């Protein structure tokens, strides 16, 4: 695991969303991969169940509400 000394960090770029990087191409490739997997599972007659919890905040930029 890489450890970063925060005293050496001057700035952090968290989400460039198409402004600095070509995120549309990366997101399209990721979506294609996900759909290809589900189509393959369906053709084999296997159940495919997405797990939206881990990817939802990253995909939508929204943080889930806290749970008690």
pLDDT in tens, 5-49: 989 988 887 766 667 777 788 888 888 888 888 888 888 887 766
Return the DSSP state at 37: H
Distance CA 55, CA 50 (A): 10
For residue 53, what pLDDT is reported?
A: 47
Pair 17, 23: CB distance under 8 Å: yes
Return the DSSP state at 7: G
For residue 62, what pLDDT is reported?
A: 53
State the Cα torsion 41-46-50-54 to the nearest 10°.
Answer: -90
For residue 8, what pLDDT is reported?
A: 92
Query: pTM for the full model?
Result: 0.41
Distance CA 3, CA 23 (A): 26
């Amino acid at each position: 695991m890489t450890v970063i000394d925060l005293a050496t960090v001057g700035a952090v770029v968290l989400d460039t969303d198409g402004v600095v990087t070509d995120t549309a191409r990366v997101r399209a490739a990721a979506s294609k991969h996900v759909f290809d997997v589900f189509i393959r599972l369906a053709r084999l007659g296997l159940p495919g169940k997405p797990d939206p919890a881990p990817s939802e905040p990253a995909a939508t930029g929204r943080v889930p509400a806290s749970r008690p």
